[in-house]
Amino acid sequence: MCGCDGTREGKKALVEILLNYLSDKEEQYWCEASDAIEHWLVKHGMEAHPNEWCAELLEKEGEEIEYCDDGIHYIRKINGVPKVKAIYGNLCDNRNKYNS
């Protein structure tokens, strides 16, 4: 989770921090994003990963995940409320190839 104080400066700093971490090719930083955060990431050139990654990354047994037809988004409940999400950042697959 992340957040800021809502000021223009706070939002700018938050986006810069997220972009720096999610663009780091040496580490495996990733996030689940939706709404405003997803909009900011896309606006700054970040690409989402295929939604097939979500079940492995989230590792929540018994959690119902609905995959969207776009191949990127998925829907899961957070505190009982369905939310459309996507995964952004630097992932490493089983063959040790970096995806971004």
Residues 3-26: pLDDT tens digits? Answer: 777 888 988 888 888 888 888 878
Mean pLDDT of the chain, nearest integer: 83
Residues 57-80: pLDDT tens digits? Answer: 886 767 789 999 999 999 999 889
Long-range contacts of 57-61 (CB under 8 A, 24+ apart): 57/30, 57/32, 57/87, 57/91, 58/32
Query: Taking 90 as the threshold, does the pLDDT of residue 28 lie above it?
Result: no
Query: Taking 90 as the threshold, does the pLDDT of residue 56 lie above it?
Result: no
Q: Could you tell me the pLDDT band of residue 81, with boundaries at 50, 70 and 90?
A: very high
